[in-house]
Structure 1
Amino acid sequence: MSSRRLLKAASAIREVVSMAILTELRNPRVSGVTVTGVEMSPDMRQAKVHVSIMGSEQKQAECLEALQRSAGFLQAKINDRIETRYTPKLEFVIDKGVKHSIEVARILRDVLPKEEEPEDEESDDESTEPQE
């Protein structure tokens, strides 16, 4: 199976799942969720949905569990909107890429030398004026 076809199917599934989570899923535990990507198995029977969830570790775990419980509903939405031979079984995993990038940026800020801020030109002008 061509990788182009898998990428196209993954993109379509990402779009359907993200819109369904945003507009149609009524579970209050599912909030602050962003679908960052979808990985398809070569036979297109399974899809791993990568999600970024804002909040504490406990909130992330609760939200991930709620998403897993809503997988059947989301698979039905995929079946309604995308014409494929098989509707892929959804598995949700937390994408830690965003949190890792924030942590790396914080570490770099701490390690790299701080640049001196240029002095404000107006304050220079005021200090050089003769005082009467």
Structure 2
Amino acid sequence: MRKNSIKNTRVNAEVQRELSTILRGGIKDPRVAPMTSVVAVEVAPDLKTCKAYISVLGDEKAQADTLKGLQSAEGYIRRELAHTLNMRNTPEIKFVLDQSIEYGVRMSKKIDDVTRDLREEDD
């Protein structure tokens, strides 16, 4: 697997920043949850495709609805990216639901439960 170049890392950061700005202010679709954040972005080296990892605060229905809303608004999002970024190609965006934050919170809660149980056994 190839290591990301400095240029690719900069493009990823710029696209992530602009995507989060667009999601915060531009999307009017009611399916998109208000607490939606862009966790990471991976733009292909040829700038044709892009994976945007999205985190949604809410239940599974809110996550699924947000993903559908973002997929239907992809044309608008690409157009806004093309206006704000000066890139050779505006990448085709694929939205991927990222549940790593939710997983981390769940694991932290389990660890806290186990340590609390161990303390109670010691007392």
- Whether TM-score is above 0.5 comes out as yes
In structure 1, distance between residues paired with 2:45 and 2:22 = 24
Find the counterpart in structure 2 of residue 64 from structure 1.
Answer: 67
- Percent sequence identity is 24
In structure 1, distance between residues paired with 2:5 and 2:100 = 23
- Partner amino acid, structure 2, of 1:99: E
* Unaligned stretches of 5+ residues in structure 2: none
Give how far 1:113 is off.
4.4
Bigger radius of gyration among the two: 1
- Partner amino acid, structure 1, of 2:25: T
Q: Which of 89, 94, 109 is matched with 1:91 structurally?
A: 94
| Mapped pair 1:3 → 2:5 | yes
Find the counterpart in structure 2 of residue 108 from structure 1.
Answer: 111
In structure 2, distance between residues paired with 1:72 and 1:113 = 50
Find the counterpart in structure 2 of residue 23 from structure 1.
Answer: 25
Give how far 1:54 is off.
1.0
In structure 2, distance between residues paired with 1:55 and 1:26 = 18
Tell me, yes or no, if the aligned pair for 1:6 and 1:44 is still in contact at 8 Å.
no
| TM, length-normalised to structure 2 | 0.87
- Partner amino acid, structure 1, of 2:99: K
Alignment of 1:32-71 (within 5 A): 32-71=35-74
In structure 2, distance between residues paired with 1:113 and 1:64 = 37
